Amino acid sequence: MCVTKKSKELVNDAACEEEVVERKVHEDFSRIDKPFGLEQHVFNWLWLGTAHVFAFYYLYLDITGRARTSTILFELLYGYIGGLGITVGCHRYWTHKTFKANKPLQILMMIMQTIANQYPIRKWSLDHRIHHKFTDTNADPHNSTRGFWFSHMGWLFLPKHPDLKKKLKTFDMPDLESDPIVRFQSRWYWTLTAVIHFIIPIFIFRYFWGLSMLHCIAANYRRYVVSLHITWSVNSVAHIWGEKPYDKNITPVENPWVSFFAVGEGWHNYHHTFPWDYKAAELGWKINLSTMFIDFFAWLGWAYDLKTVSQTMLKQRLHRTGNESHNLPVIDEANCDKNDFDYSVPADVTELMKDCIHQPVWGWDDESIPEDLRNVTKTLRSKGIK
């Protein structure tokens, strides 16, 4: 990647590489590039536009007293089950590889992610890995330098930037493309979506609340649209409003409100600084239901090899790129407490971690991470039920 230091604009890759090799993608994955033969942004206008019309219709019925307000509890429950499929499954497991999971947990997370209906795992993860490698450049799907509304939802309704199109064609993800669960979901995505995202919740609305079919559909769309905007707030709000205690040189910020609604995904400055940490935050259970979910399944033995950052590495990084908002006391690195983790950070790792802008990584399996950094990363619960 070529990035200019002054403007952070992505330079034409032809200046960096003479030849760009377009990767071959199996039909199970490539068909989502044009859902039902439509360009993605055109499909999104129809799909998400319809969802918003129904959602606002049911909100209107609620405000005017013509809807059963008690459905909101189920909407939130089902919506947050799907949300955990995104935050834990798509994000921390499949995209960033921050922990390992046995097959039952993988299947559970795949089902939960399908409830959320934010495109298949492989498509979501591809966008997000590119986002981390090229944050807030023209190759970033939801580049926040283009404004709040673009990073929040506009990126889904506009044609993709040429730099992003190039990355989507060349970015390699052999780990996910060889994953049988990811491939199964991509192959049967619209069938699974019809059953899990639509039929099951609509049946529940109809059976337990006796809603008309129109109101069932509208209530289901409302919980869907609410969950979408919560997810989108991570791309927009958490890149604009908040503190930068871990790396003051990057755009992602710490936003507790986003963390509250997005079950732990708002500690974004930390996450972009250490994208391989399974907590996606320094303090694991601080407004972070997603970490609680992973820890629970780690206790069961279904999740294991949880990657996290040592206190020594964290302190050294804070002194290099952090700001005063962390309130870290000045310490003597030569005499810092080694009880938590008895390693110093090697010189090449220190050099790598000086600036996330010029050496970004997408997660634990990124080839850009040197072996020395892997050696000083803590791994929790290394034994699980596989």
State the pTM of this model. 0.85
Of 314, 296, 312, nearest to 304 by C-alpha is 296
Per the listing, tokens 């939130």 go with 76
Residues 288 and 129: their CA atoms lie apart, in Å, by 22
Q: Work out the pLDDT band at 42, boundaries 50, 70, 90.
A: very high
pLDDT surpassing 80 at residue 375? no
Q: What is the pLDDT of residue 325?
A: 66
> Which residues fall within 8 angstroms of residue 33, CB to CB, at 6 or more apart?
40
Q: What is the pLDDT of residue 385?
A: 61
H or E segment to which residue 238 belongs? none
pLDDT tens-place string over residues 143-159: 999 999 999 999 999 99
Q: What is the pLDDT of residue 223?
A: 96
pLDDT surpassing 70 at residue 264? yes
Q: Work out the pLDDT band at 23, boundaries 50, 70, 90.
A: low
- For the chain, domain boundaries: 13-380
Q: What is the pLDDT of residue 327?
A: 62
Q: What is the DSSP string of 150-212?
A: IIIIIHHHSPPPHHHHHHHHH---HHHHT-HHHHHHHHTHHHHIIIIIIIHHHHHHHHHH---
What would the two tokens of residue 230 be? Answer: 């919560």
Q: What percent of the chain has pLDDT over 70?
A: 82
**Residues 324-332, mean pLDDT to the nearest whole number:** 55
Average pLDDT, the chain: 84
